[in-house]
Amino acid sequence: MNYWLFKSEPSTWSWDDQLKAGKKGTEWNGVRNFQARKNMQKMKKGDKGLFYHSGDERRVMGVVEVIKEAYPDHTAEEGDWQMVDIVAVQGLKNPVNLSEIKEHPLLEDMVLVKQGRLSVSPVTKQEFEVIVELAEG
């Protein structure tokens, strides 16, 4: 199993929106970055992800799961863009802020810290577990 981070501006698509999508999940579309597309193409059904609010909030809100592997993004007007489908698995008791992530020694090499603008990025199993643990308080 692999782990990922999905970033979204909450005014565009929030954790609450993801929860409202229910068990059917939702498309993760609109990604227009080559590296993020490559990351989505590596995703497998059952992979876990961290749902991150970007913008002013900058915090991990919950855990998601990939329920459909990469396929053509119907929102793309041109180019070979891809999307995956994800479903909410669990909210985090205490969302984890970017400042907490940057301060934690086991998270200092996280792609989120090193390449903050990347919308879909890999997360190591250890990084995933540390963030979930931090959220539990």
For the segment 88-128, what is each residue's pLDDT rounded down to a tens digit?
999 999 999 999 999 999 999 999 999 989 999 999 999 99
Spell out the CATH class of 3-135.
alpha beta
Q: How far is CA 31 from CA 7, 16, 63, 71, 92, in A?
A: 10, 20, 19, 12, 25
pTM comes to 0.96
What is the reported pLDDT for 55? Answer: 95
Which residues, including other chains, have CB under 8 Å from residue 80's CB and lie 6 or more apart? 72
CA 91 to chain centre: 13
pLDDT tens digits in sequence order for the chain, 137 residues long: 999 999 999 999 999 999 999 999 999 999 999 999 999 999 999 999 999 999 999 999 999 999 999 999 999 999 899 999 999 999 999 999 999 999 999 999 999 999 989 999 999 999 999 999 999 98
